Amino acid sequence: MADLTPLAISVLALLNERPMHAYEMYQLLVSRQNDRIVKVRPGSLYHTVERLAGQEYVRATGTERAGNRPERTTYEITPAGVEALRRRVESGIEKFVYEYPLFPVVLSEAHNLEAEDALLRFRRRVEDLDKWLADLDQSLGLARENGVHEPYWIGGAYIRHQIAAERDWLATTIERIESKDLPWQPRKNT
């Protein structure tokens, strides 16, 4: 079994709820704000559905047309797709895989900036992180208010803790640079 991409996992999970067409999947991912954890575009979603159909994890169940809209194919998950989803969720939870995010790379090269420039950019990032935290808090609060069971939004809670930890670390780093506890001497071209 080939590893399922994050978008493939999301597609299989949606189809595990009920059969639907690709555009409906896209709309549901966006309305649930899953587009914050999975990079999803209509084109990539259609491609993923086609790939899953080729792997026999999903199958077409019919097509429909509403007015002048294009014909839409409805898909359902197959037993092989249910098993692939289950196995991928199990392995993704229990096995740590480093994902090589961009921020540690640029952070490791921040010494190439003057201290004031680095501080300005760190502060801007903290502002962005604070906005994300406020949005997440609102979304998680709505989920609680609407009685959505916690296992359905536990991923959002995890991301909230990750972002808060990054924001707190950056705030401390800013304080350390400002107090000269973290001496900042940019590397000069020689």
Give the integer Cα–Cα distance in Å for 32 and 125.
Answer: 25
Q: What is the mean pLDDT of residues 85-96?
A: 94
**H-helix segments, the chain:** 6-17, 22-31, 42-54, 79-94, 102-108, 115-145, 154-178
> pLDDT tens digits for 5-47?
999 999 999 999 999 999 999 999 999 889 888 999 989 999 9
Whether residue 71 is predicted with pLDDT greater than 90 in this model: the reply is no
